[in-house]
Amino acid sequence: MHSTTSEPPAPDAAPVPLLATAEQALKIAVVGGFGVGKTTLVRSVSEIRPLNTEETMTRAGDGVDDLDGVEAKRSTTVAFDFGRITLDATSVLYVFGAPGQERFWFLWDRLFSGALGAVVLVDTRRLADSFYAIDRLEAQGTPFVVAHNDFGESSHGLDEVRSALDLDPGVPLVRCDARERDSAKQVLIALVRHVRSLVTEGSR
Amino acid sequence: MNLDTLTWLLEGLLERTPGARHALVLSRDGLKLCHSASLNKDSADHLAAIAAGVQSLAHSASVEFGAGPGAGGVRQAMAEFYGGLLFIVEAGHGAHLAVITSEEAEPGLVGHNMNELVEQMGEHLSTPPRAATGSV
In a domain, A9, yes or no: no
How many Å apart are CA A112 and CA B43, to the nearest integer?
Answer: 24
Instruction: State which residue of chain B sits closest to A5, comparing Cα positions.
Output: B136
d(CA B112, CA B97): 13
Query: What are the distances in angstroms from CA B12 to CA B5, B8, B16, B53?
Result: 10, 6, 6, 26
Say if the Cβ atoms of B49 and A71 lie within 8 Å. no
Asked if the structure places residue A160 within a domain, the reply is yes
- Interchain CB distance below 8 Å, B133 and A107: no
Q: Is B127 on the interface with A (CB under 8 A)?
A: yes
List the CATH number of the domain containing A135: 3.40.50.300
In a domain, A132, yes or no: yes
Q: How far is Cα A91 from Cα A24, in angstroms, rounded to an integer?
A: 5
Interval A133-162 mean pLDDT: 91
ipTM for this model: 0.79
Does residue A4 sit within a domain? no
Dist CA B44 CA B26 (whole Å): 9
Q: Would A13 be classed as within a structural domain?
A: no
- The answer to the question of residue A82 being in a domain is yes
Q: What angle do CA B91, A76, B29 make, to 5 degrees?
A: 25
How many CB atoms neighbour CB A183 within 10 A? 20
Average pLDDT, chain A: 88
A189 pLDDT band, cuts 50/70/90, is: very high
Q: Would you call B45 and A103 a contact, using CB atoms and an 8 Å cutoff?
A: yes
Beta strands in A58-190 (DSSP E): 75-77, 81-86, 91-97, 117-122, 144-149, 173-176
Q: Can you tell me the distance from the alpha carbon of B50 to that of A179, in angstroms, rounded to the nearest whole number?
A: 29
Question: Nearest by CB to A60, which of B27, B73, B135?
Answer: B27
Q: With 60 as the cut, is the pLDDT of residue B133 above it?
A: no
- Give B35 to chain A, closest Cα distance, Å: 14
Question: What's the average model confidence in pLDDT over B102-109?
Answer: 97
For residue A13, the model assigns a pLDDT of 57
How many helices and strands, by DSSP H and E, does chain A display? 5, 8
- The conformation of residue A167, written as its DSSP 8-state character, comes to -
Give the pLDDT band of residue A12 (cuts 50, 70, 90). low
Check CB contact under 8 Å for B73 and A65: no
B21: nearest Cα among B80, B120, B104, B94:
B104
Overall number of domains in chain A? 1
- The maximal CA–CA distance of chain A, rounded, in angstroms, is 55
**Quick check: is A166 in a domain?**
yes
A91 is in which domain, residue-wise?
Answer: 24-62+75-203
**pLDDT at residue A46 is higher than 70:** yes
Beta strands at A173-176 and B20-27: parallel, antiparallel or unpaired? unpaired
pTM recorded for the entire structure: 0.84
Q: Domain for residue A142, yes or no?
A: yes
Q: Minimal Cα–Cα distance from B21 to chain A, Å?
A: 22
